[in-house]
């Protein structure tokens, strides 16, 4: 089965706290891409990161970091020192190489940052 699970439906934290959004995926392919997208209250979908299955290096971009672990089929996303502007729905997605270009989406995690 090809599947993406974001078990956290909603997370609420106070500003400046660190928060981790979980993403667990299933695929039979050895080559695939993983993505994170952000959907703020305004509704647009913003691309955050793409990770190739052969590259397990963690990635850091400012306050954002991603931890990719093939051993546990996880691609978790951490926001350090969260800010109110980080409030959004975050989607994790999988692109297996045999998917005929179709992304397999998680259900999303709604992140609420309280001031």
Residue numbers of the site for other proteins (CB under 8 A)? 33, 35, 37, 43-47, 50, 91, 95, 100-103, 105-108
Please say which residue, 79 or 93, places its beta carbon nearer to other proteins.
93
Report in angstroms how near the CB of residue 73 gets to other proteins at its nearest.
18
Query: Can you say how many angstroms the Cα of residue 65 is from the centroid of all Cα atoms in its chain?
Result: 10
Please say which residue, 76 or 95, places its beta carbon nearer to other proteins.
95
C-alpha atoms less than 13 angstroms from C-alpha of 81 in its C-beta half-sphere: 2
Report in angstroms how near the CB of residue 81 gets to other proteins at its nearest.
27
Report in angstroms how near the CB of residue 104 gets to other proteins at its nearest.
9
Please say which residue, 38 or 80, places its beta carbon nearer to other proteins.
38
Beta strands in 22-114 (DSSP E): 24-26, 32-39, 46-52, 59-61, 64-69, 74-79, 88-96, 104-105, 109-114
| Closest by CA position to 77, among listed 85, 53, 104, 89 | 89
Report in angstroms how near the CB of residue 16 gets to other proteins at its nearest.
28
Alpha-carbon distance of 10 to 41, in angstroms, equals: 14
Which tokens sit at 100? 């005929």
Please say which residue, 31 or 81, places its beta carbon nearer to other proteins.
31
């Amino acid at each position: 089965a090809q599947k993406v699970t974001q078990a956290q439906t909603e997370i609420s934290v106070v500003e400046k706290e660190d928060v981790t959004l979980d993403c667990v995926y299933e695929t039979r392919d050895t080559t695939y891409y993983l993505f994170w997208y952000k959907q703020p209250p305004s509704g647009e979908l913003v691309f955050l990161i793409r990770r190739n299955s052969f590259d397990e290096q963690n990635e850091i971009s400012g306050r954002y970091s991603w931890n990719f672990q093939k051993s546990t089929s996880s691609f978790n996303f951490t926001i350090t020192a969260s800010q109110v502007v980080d409030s959004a729905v975050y989607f994790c997605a999988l692109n297996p190489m045999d998917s005929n270009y179709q992304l397999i989406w998680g259900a999303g995690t709604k992140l609420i940052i309280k001031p």
